[in-house]
Amino acid sequence: MSEQRVHELRPEHYHTTFGPHAPALTVESGDEVIAWCADARGLDANGEQIGLESLAGPAGARREVSNPVTGPIHVVGAEPGDALAVEIREVTPTRGWAWSTTPAEFGFFSTEDISGPTSFTPPQWAPEEQREFRWELDLERMTGRLTLERSRAEAVEIPLHPFLGCLGVAPERGETRMTMTPGRHGGNMDCPQVGPGTTVYLPVYEPGALLSLGDCHAAQGDGELCGVALEVSCRARVRVELVKSRAMRWPRAEDGEHIMAIGSARPLRAAYAAAHVELLAWLVEGYGFDRFEAYQVLSQVGTTRIGNVVDPNYSVVARFPRQYLP
């Protein structure tokens, strides 16, 4: 086994797509990568806009600053049909403030139709105006503070839980996907569980896997309701490990308490189904459960978290407690 190495990746070029791009870094299985990431608007640690020339993408694509990601990282030996284990060791904000906003054209309460194919039409409320919010971050206490200008309370302070909104590999069939959209390749899942202490397993579709990451959130509630979390630049430290011949249809993850599967689709029912079918497959293939018995136990002890209900695909995290594993 080769000796573990630590690489540092300070991007010269960012991507606003996941795809078969030229690698920014090549590593071996077992290596660590320290990756510096801009925020969702392309603001760096100094709050300065990254230059448009640093946004790499397919020929003819619009060079918009939207969730620019660091990478891709080529993992030697990764081939289609394998899985890439990404152990997230650190996600550290690199500045003392984060931004958020409540856009009228984005978020759950946007102008898009959220009723779906159902006889029940949910209540609609569209923000009449877009408002910008600046949260001051105390990185020693790991808290975020927002001054309230129009509310009875003067301010609110919340705990921070930084995580990677975007983590993914090159998609299947050589396709290129915008960083706004989550899918089987990972991508913009916006799941708070994708943070320190979690290992995420991604299916490999292209030689080298081509891992990219970014879109750090200092904090976010389930669903990312308004469409924008506490957006901040970050320094992420991850360890990558190749798992040969580990086929999976959707990303999987595990931490000290749960094994998890992440499905991304629309409507929300489809994302819920994808996550739970993948989790059932893991229980059967990886832990020796009978499928019907796994279905029964998961029905009684499983929990579900909602990553986002605002992106082109919604993301659902299905979780099974470790204490009930064989």
For 92-104, write each residue's pLDDT tens digit.
Answer: 999 999 999 987 7
Single pTM value for the model? 0.93
* Number of residues assigned to the chain: 326
DSSP H helical ranges for 120-267: none
Strand, coil or helix: 234: strand
Q: What is the pLDDT of residues 12-21, one digit of tens each?
A: 899 999 999 9
Please give the distance of CA 207 from its chain centroid, rounded to a whole number: 22
pLDDT beyond 60 at 75: yes
Q: Which CATH architecture has domain 6-96+162-243?
A: Sandwich (2.60)
d(CA 152, CA 146): 13
pLDDT beyond 80 at 149: yes
Taking Cα atoms as reference points, which of 132, 135, 197 lies closest to residue 164? 197
pLDDT beyond 80 at 216: yes
Q: What is the pLDDT of residues 284-301, one digit of tens each?
A: 999 999 999 999 999 999
Q: Are 97 and 264 in contact (CB under 8 A)?
A: no
Query: Taking the domains of the chain in order of start, what are their residue ranges?
Result: 6-96+162-243, 252-324
Sequence-separated (6 or more) residues with CB below 8 Å from residue 313: 181, 182, 183, 264, 265, 266, 271
Q: Residue 55's pLDDT band (boundaries 50, 70, 90)?
A: confident
In this prediction, residue 192 carries a pLDDT of: 97
pLDDT beyond 90 at 129: no
Main-chain dihedrals φ then ψ at residue 246, nearest 5 degrees = -120, 85
Q: Does CATH place domain 252-324 in 3.10.28.20?
A: yes
